[in-house]
């Protein structure tokens, strides 16, 4: 058995990676140590080398004191409770001796150059105009890799490097591009430098966010719609996976470009596995994860950035002009989080207050009306209830959001 093991930039990651490798080799596993890099480098190792699985030591966008393991099976298939995690838990809590008669070996291997070559051959930036781009690496591993990819493509890009050097202490706090303070910094730098756009990644690089020339970030549902539109022009009639938080812009983009929309529960494990099951071309989540059939059905923050540059190259428009058709028609609240005393009671109250909505339970609850819609779902990773509202009118979106906020605040934990 062969397993790739990588790590993110956190100060605790080297020692944890060492422990993971020791445990695997004692069990007779051959380990390919791919060193430090973004999580998609581990996905690339497993997929391109046909390995039996991979482990990335990472806590993604969480604060620096956290750490964890991201694991995939052969074929870059995500692990869930039904497909391996429960077995791992049982083994971890058990007292059986897993030591093999013949210990495994360790092979250190650098795959960054191969990874960059593999990704860059998927895009065509020949018509890309000269651009100035603010790139917020959030002290992770993606920025330097993206810079090398742009050089490989000979892209006419001037990078304004922000929080660019990998630093596992995360001196500016939580390395999360969704955090308001991180977005504000990126937006400010875009405007200060008269940049054409901004890009931001989380610490392990599997999430990507794009800001226009005014420093305004493109909503996840709108970016999913833009990427779906772009990829379906190349691959007409393919399936696209999306999740239930905000759906109208995405469904419109898919249908107008001859694709087949497939809704699925949010979460990288669920989306990855549905991508493979459906043979889907592309999948997108509001959280900033974007999945590609051409990348083992896995999420990839670098490829998302490069595909967006390809959109610019083909359209010749400013980023705000590219986003405008979706921004002007599909208004969204942005995700609002509530820490409530009783999640089910809060959900039941919302259903009671809006009894005429068409109910969908793909993920939490969605209630759809003629000109507005809500989704309310428990977080997969935090003790929170997440609200998203969308509408065909800006004021209606604001008013509905305010009303729902009042209801949910009544349930908020002290």
> Which of 361, 362, 388 has the alpha carbon at shortest distance from 376?
388
Phi, psi (rounded to 5 degrees) for 221: -70, -35
Tell the burial category of 191 from Cβ atoms under 10 Å away from its Cβ (0-12, 13-18, 19+).
middle
Measured distance CA(197)–CA(149) in Å, rounded = 17
Q: How far is CA 70 from the centre of its chain?
A: 14
Among candidates 384, 382, 383, 360, which has minimal Cα distance to 374?
360
- Asked whether the beta carbons of 173 and 163 are under 8 A apart, the reply is no
Among the listed residues 58, 60, 142, 287, the single catalytic one is 60
Tell me the C-alpha distance between 148 and 310, whole Å.
17
Helix (H, G, I), strand (E, B) or coil at 70: strand
Tens-level pLDDT at each residue, the chain (414 residues): 999 999 999 999 999 999 999 999 999 999 999 999 999 999 999 999 999 999 999 999 999 999 999 999 999 999 877 788 899 899 889 998 999 999 999 999 999 999 999 999 999 999 999 999 999 999 999 999 999 999 999 999 999 999 999 999 999 999 999 888 899 999 999 999 999 999 999 999 999 999 999 999 999 999 999 999 999 999 999 999 999 999 999 999 999 999 999 999 998 889 999 999 999 999 999 999 999 999 999 999 999 999 999 999 999 999 999 999 999 999 999 999 999 999 999 999 999 999 999 999 999 999 999 999 999 999 877 778 999 999 999 999 999 999 999 999 999 976
CA atoms of 212 and 306, how far apart (whole Å)? 15
Dist. CA 2–CA 25, nearest whole Å:
10
Closest CA to 287 of 304, 275, 309, 307: 304
Question: Is-catalytic flag, 368?
Answer: no
Separation between Cα atoms, residue 274 and residue 270, nearest integer Å: 6
**Rounded Cα–Cα distance for residues 23 and 12 (Å):** 17
- Alpha-carbon distance of 388 to 380, in angstroms, equals 15
The two beta strands, 260-263 and 239-242, are: parallel
d(CA 108, CA 111): 10
Domains of the chain: 2-112 (3.40.120.10), 115-211 (3.40.120.10), 331-410 (3.30.310.50)
The β-bridge relationship of strands 290-292 and 365-368 is: unpaired
Torsion of CA 68, 220, 383, 401, to 10 degrees: 170
Between CA 375 and CA 413 the distance in angstroms is: 20
For 340: left if phi > 0, alpha if psi spans -120 to 50, otherwise beta; the answer is beta
C-alpha–C-alpha distance, residues 186 and 180, integer Å = 10
> What is the DSSP code (8-state) at residue 363?
S
Instruction: Name beta bridge partners: 215.
Output: none
Strand bridging mode 385-391 / 336-338: antiparallel
Query: Which is nearest to 210 in space by CA: 124, 284, 297, 298?
Result: 284
The contacts of residue 116 (CB under 8 Å, 6+ apart) are 145, 148, 149, 152
CA distance linking residue 246 with residue 329, whole number of Å: 13
- pTM of the predicted protein model: 0.95
pLDDT of residue 414: 63
Secondary structure (3-state) at 366 = strand
* CA trace torsion 189, 190, 192, 193 (10° rounding): 110
What does the alpha-carbon distance between residue 66 and residue 59 come to, in Å, rounded to a whole number? 6
Nearest alpha carbon to residue 51 among 105, 9, 5, 83: 5
């Amino acid at each position: 058995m062969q397993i790739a093991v990588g790590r993110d930039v956190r100060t605790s990651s080297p020692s944890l990676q060492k422990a993971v490798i020791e445990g695997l080799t004692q069990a007779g596993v051959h380990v390919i140590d791919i060193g430090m890099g973004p999580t998609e480098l581990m996905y690339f190792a497993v997929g391109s080398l046909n390995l039996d699985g991979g482990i990335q030591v990472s806590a993604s966008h969480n604060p620096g004191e956290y750490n964890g393991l991201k694991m995939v099976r052969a074929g870059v298939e995500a692990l869930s409770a039904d497909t391996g995690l429960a077995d791992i838990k049982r083994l971890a809590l058990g007292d059986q001796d897993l030591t093999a008669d013949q210990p495994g070996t360790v092979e250190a291997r650098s795959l960054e150059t191969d990874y960059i070559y593999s990704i860059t051959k998927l895009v065509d930036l020949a018509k890309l105009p000269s651009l100035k781009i603010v790139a917020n690496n959030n002290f992770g591993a993606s920025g330097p890799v993206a810079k090398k990819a742009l050089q490989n493509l000979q892209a006419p890009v001037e990078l304004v490097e922000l929080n660019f050097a990998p630093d596992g202490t995360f001196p500016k706090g939580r390395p999360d591009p969704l955090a308001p303070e991180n977005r504000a910094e990126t937006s400010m730098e875009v405007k200060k430098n008269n940049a054409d756009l901004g890009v931001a990644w989380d610490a392990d690089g599997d999430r990507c966010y794009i800001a226009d020339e005014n420093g305004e970030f493109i909503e996840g549902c709108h970016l999913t719609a833009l990427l779906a539109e772009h990829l379906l022009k190349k691959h007409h009639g393919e399936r696209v996976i999306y999740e239930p938080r905000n759906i109208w812009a995405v469904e419109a983009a898919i249908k107008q470009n001859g694709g087949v929309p497939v809704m699925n529960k949010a979460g990288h494990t669920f989306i990855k596995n549905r991508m493979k099951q459906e043979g889907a071309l592309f999948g997108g989540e509001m959280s900033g994860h974007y999945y590609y059939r051409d990348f083992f059905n896995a999420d990839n923050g670098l490829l998302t950035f490069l595909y967006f540059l390809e959109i610019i190259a083909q359209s010749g428009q400013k980023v705000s002009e590219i986003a405008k058709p979706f921004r002007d028609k599909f208004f969204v609240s942005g995700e609002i989080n509530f820490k409530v005393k009783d999640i089910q009671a809060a959900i039941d109250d919302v259903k009671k207050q809006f009894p005429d909505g068409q109910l969908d339970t793909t993920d939490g609850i969605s209630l759809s009306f003629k000109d507005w819609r809500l989704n309310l779902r428990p977080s997969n990773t935090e003790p929170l209830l997440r609200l998203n509202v969308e509408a065909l009118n800006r004021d209606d979106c604001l008013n509905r959001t305010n009303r729902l906020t009042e209801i949910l605040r009544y349930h908020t934990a002290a």
